[in-house]
Copies of this chain bind each other. A is one copy, B any other.
Amino acid sequence: MDFNIYITRVNAKLDQYLSAQGSLAKAMRYSTLTSGKRFRPILTYCVANIFSTNLNLVDSSSCAVEFIHAYSLIHDDLPVMDDDDMRHNQPSCHKRFGEAQAILAGDGLQALAFEVLVNDDLISADIKIELLKFLTRASFEMAEGQAIDLSIIAKQVDIATLESMHRKKTGALLSCAVNLGAIISKKCNNEDRIILDVFSKDIGLAYQIQDDVFDIEVPDALLGKNQYSDECKNKPTYPSLLGLDKSKLTYKNLYKKASDELDLLSVDATELQQLTVNLQARLF
Contacts and interface: CB of A to CB of B under 8 A. Distances in A.
A111 B173 CA distance: 13
Contact of A108 (B126, B143, B150): B143
A139 interface: yes
Interface string A129-160: 10011001101100110111011000000000
Contact of A144 (B24, B75, B98, B136): B24
Contact of A75 (B21, B103, B114, B139): B103
Nearest to A27: B147
A133 B150 contact: no
A23 B132 contact: no
Please classify the interface of chain A as helix (H, G, I), strand (E, B), loop, or mixed, using the class held by over half of its residues.
helix
Interface residues of A, number: 43
A80 interface: yes
A78 interface: yes
A81 interface: yes
A129 B110 CA distance: 17
Contacts of A22: 144
